[in-house]
């Protein structure tokens, strides 16, 4: 039995309730974050909370807590679950309203914070890498449902993940309407080229500006690895020397096969392994103290 924060109260997971008229349930009308804590410290908490409030601002939700209040409630949720290593999911919906799409007269926002464990990939996958397929489901157009907003509507990603599952692959990659590779279903994507450059798709293509993505860019530059944010197609991905995905839950996972094409020599490369090691060290030495 876990403890969940719901609208100012800490309740058991069995007692936590959200109205069937909540717009987050009815329309995906809300925002969220995925955050990790390592050894009693919440990694990149300020960046995640800033992004949560930016997402809410973009869809005209006024979160009824200051950022400092939100951070303390998040830390308290971790403490009440007696966790040191955890995955935290803060959620903010527009709140409760009757049936109907009009959003402007909903009640006050619903705020939920969940702290639990998560394990997306096995240790073997981190050691040997994963496979992916480029989904026929394209990434949402930024002028329709902007992927920069971490909204509760993840049907786009769920459909792409189903394509990967049905194809026997571990992950799905999105293309945008112009055919450029954008990101994975829930992770950012990097390739390392024969020219010794680390490239990740720019956010204007439809990629989320990931917190882990930014951390990896900083790590690579500290190591003297040139980093570019520029568009590339499947051809560049297939012919990369190395490739990997980044995300809060996934951390850094090597990508060794896409659409049946082996990336590099089919094993996690040196650059990928070095960045993985540096990222693990970073998570051990920084973060918002919980205890």
Active site residues: 150
- Tokens in use for 151? 């909204």
Q: Residue 240: which residues within 8 A CB-CB, separation 6 or more?
A: 191, 192, 193, 263, 264
Report whether 207 contacts 217 (CB < 8 A). no
- Tokens in use for 45? 């908490």
Report whether 136 contacts 163 (CB < 8 A). yes
Distance CA 61, CA 72 (A): 20
Is residue 12 classed as helix, strand or coil in its secondary structure?
strand
Report whether 199 contacts 244 (CB < 8 A). no
């Amino acid at each position: 039995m876990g403890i969940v924060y719901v609208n100012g109260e800490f309740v058991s997971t069995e007692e936590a309730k959200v109205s069937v008229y909540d717009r987050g349930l009815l329309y995906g009308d809300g925002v969220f974050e995925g955050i990790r804590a390592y050894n009693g410290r919440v990694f990149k908490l300020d960046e995640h909370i800033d992004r949560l409030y930016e997402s809410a601002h973009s869809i005209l939700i006024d979160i009824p807590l200051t950022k400092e209040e939100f951070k303390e409630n998040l830390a308290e949720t971790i403490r009440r679950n007696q966790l040191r290593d955890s995955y935290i999911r803060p959620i903010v919906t527009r709140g409760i309203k009757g049936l109907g799409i009009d959003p402007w007269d909903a009640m006050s926002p619903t705020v939920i914070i969940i702290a639990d464990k998560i394990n997306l990939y096995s240790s073997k996958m981190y050691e040997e890498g994963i496979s992916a397929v480029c989904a026929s489901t394209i990434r949402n157009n930024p002028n329709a449902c902007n992927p920069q907003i971490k909204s509760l509507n993840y049907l786009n990603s769920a459909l792409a993940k189903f394509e990967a599952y049905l194809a026997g692959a571990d992950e799905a990659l999105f293309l945008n309407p112009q055919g450029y590779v954008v990101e994975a279903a829930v992770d950012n994507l990097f390739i390392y080229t024969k020219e010794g450059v680390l490239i990740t798709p720019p956010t204007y293509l439809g990629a989320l500006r990931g917190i882990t993505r930014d951390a990896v860019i900083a790590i690579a530059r500290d190591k003297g690895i040139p980093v570019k944010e520029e568009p590339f197609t499947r051809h560049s991905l297939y012919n990369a020397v190395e490739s990997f995905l980044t995300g809060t839950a996934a951390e850094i996972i090597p990508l060794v096969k896409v659409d049946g094409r082996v990336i590099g020599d089919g094993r996690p490369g040196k650059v990928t392994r070095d960045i993985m090691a540096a990222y693990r060290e970073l998570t051990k030495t920084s973060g918002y103290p919980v205890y």
